[in-house]
Chain A
Amino acid sequence: MKAKFLVPLLLFLLLVGFLGYGLRLNPREVPSPLIDKPAPAFRVPQLQSPDKTISPDDLKGRVWLLNVWASWCVSCRQEHPLLVELSRNSPVPIVGLNYKEVRGDNELEGKSMDAPAELRLATERARQWLVQHGGDPYAVTAMDLDGRVGIDYGVYGVPETFLVDKAGVIRYKHIGPLTVEALRDVLLPKIAELQRAG
């Protein structure tokens, strides 16, 4: 008979358990449906030589990282030193995707410009930011001025980092700034695994 009084307590503890688990989940981490799907195609100008373009096709046959960033992105400053360090002896090329450099910062400013002027301003700002924040870790940076490439990649919060395999298939996505732990425990082992394969 006494055990009956324990029922509400047990239910309460169960609820606490669920809530405790829920607290540790990050609602901002939305699982990407693009995992194990081909990296969406694009062809956009390069940051360091805007007269040339870059496309995921140019990287076929290699494992590569795609890091989404912008000079207006505050958390990008946090992960940048790590990217610079990684680039010194990275097993794979780090490709930058500069996301809405001008428009992300000031919607109207970018829209009122013609495309060449916007590209000029964007490359100027992005390069300056790289110089100010410890260097350019990117093998090449793709300029996504209007954010269309970002939409194709399901980008919703910069920075984001994608890992693409030799066949051009997205294998992993890290949301938010990279950390030493994420790099050491998840990303680098996955890179090594993908490089061994095929």
Chain B
Amino acid sequence: MRVDLMRRLALVFALLMPLAASAGEAEPLAHDQALEERVMQLSHSLRCLVCQNQSIAESNAPLAIDLRNQVREQFLAGKDEQAVVDYLVARYGDFVLYLPPFKGVTLLLWIGPGLLLIAGAGWLGWRLRKRASEPTHKLTAEEHARAMALLEGGSDTSEESRS
């Protein structure tokens, strides 16, 4: 009986062990859930400079962690999203933004796809119009008869097919 109880206790402890281990490694989360959500939301729109194809929300690079902490700290200090973004842009440039601002150097980036679309549509329109103005080829009576014969399942009997 006693042995059984001991075994059960041992099992309970064994099962609780991983909990203790993960509790030790978890990142210190702020208790304020709403704040944490704001931090993550903004972090998703900021590019990590170390692993450049990840946002600082996704990256575990030390710099990304530092920057997330900066964002949290600045929110706690009462700054709003725009102020935090300005703070980071002042240090790392527009490169940190996944949504680059509309200005001189980014002009082509923003309007380039639109220009390409307009150019493509223009070219297509021009080609269609050109094709419409081309004289259409009318079938001769002989060609028409041959086509009908083919459509009805007969074999091609014209001169061309035999040669």
Identify which of A27, A34, A107 contacts B65 (C-beta below 8 A): A107
Bitwise, A91-135 to B at CB < 8 A (1) or not (0) is: 000000000100110010000000000000000000000000000
Q: Once bound together, how far apart are the Cα atoms of A65 and B65, in whole Å?
A: 28
Q: Please classify how large the interface on chain B is, using the bins under 10, 10 to 19, 20 to 34, 35 or more.
A: 10 to 19
CB distance from B76 to the nearest CB of A (A): 15
Q: Once bound together, how far apart are the Cα atoms of A152 and B52, in whole Å?
A: 19
Contact segment of B11-19, B36-44, B85-93, B153-161: B85-93
B67: A residues at CB distance < 8 A: 151
Given contacts A30-B49, A156-B49, A157-B50, contact A104 B91 (CB under 8 A): no
Given contacts A151-B67, A157-B50, contact A31 B93 (CB under 8 A): yes
Contact A33 B49 (CB under 8 A): no
Q: Once bound together, how far apart are the Cα atoms of A81 and B65, in whole Å?
A: 32
State whether the Cβ of B62 lies closer than 8 Å to any Cβ in chain A: yes
Given contacts A27-B52, A107-B62, contact A152 B92 (CB under 8 A): no
A100: B residues at CB distance < 8 A: 62
A30: B residues at CB distance < 8 A: 49, 92-93, 95
CB distance from A32 to the nearest CB of B (A): 7
B94: A residues at CB distance < 8 A: 33
Given contacts A27-B52, A30-B49, contact A156 B65 (CB under 8 A): no
Q: Once bound together, how far apart are the Cα atoms of A140 and B93, in whole Å?
A: 28
CB distance from B28 to the nearest CB of A (A): 9
CB distance from B41 to the nearest CB of A (A): 21
State whether the Cβ of B66 lies closer than 8 Å to any Cβ in chain A: yes
Q: Once bound together, how far apart are the Cα atoms of A107 and B94, in whole Å?
A: 28
The residue of chain B having its C-beta at the shortest distance from the C-beta of A37 within the complex is: B90
Q: Once bound together, how far apart are the Cα atoms of A107 and B49, in whole Å?
A: 18
Contact A156 B62 (CB under 8 A): no
CB distance from A143 to the nearest CB of B (A): 16
The residue of chain B having its C-beta at the shortest distance from the C-beta of A154 within the complex is: B91
B90: A residues at CB distance < 8 A: 33-34
The residue of chain B having its C-beta at the shortest distance from the C-beta of A153 within the complex is: B91
Contact B66 A156 (CB under 8 A): no
Contact B93 A104 (CB under 8 A): no
State whether the Cβ of B54 lies closer than 8 Å to any Cβ in chain A: no
The residue of chain A having its C-beta at the shortest distance from the C-beta of B48 within the complex is: A156
Bitwise, A20-50 to B at CB < 8 A (1) or not (0) is: 0000000110111110000000000000000
Q: Once bound together, how far apart are the Cα atoms of A27 and B93, in whole Å?
A: 14
Contact A33 B62 (CB under 8 A): no
State whether the Cβ of B45 lies closer than 8 Å to any Cβ in chain A: no
CB distance from B84 to the nearest CB of A (A): 12
CB distance from A64 to the nearest CB of B (A): 20
Interface residues of B in 44-74 (CB under 8 A from A): 49-50, 52, 62-63, 65-67, 70
Can you give 12 contacting A-B residue pairs, CB < 8 Å? A31-B95, A32-B93, A33-B89, A34-B90, A100-B62, A147-B62, A147-B63, A151-B66, A151-B91, A154-B91, A156-B50, A156-B92
Interface residue ranges, B against A (CB under 8 Å) = 49-50, 52, 62-63, 65-67, 70, 89-95
- 8 A-B pairs with least C-beta separation: A156-B49, A154-B91, A33-B93, A30-B95, A154-B92, A147-B66, A156-B63, A156-B50
Known: A31-B95, A100-B62, A156-B63. 4 other contacts (CB 8 A): A30-B93, A33-B92, A157-B49, A157-B50
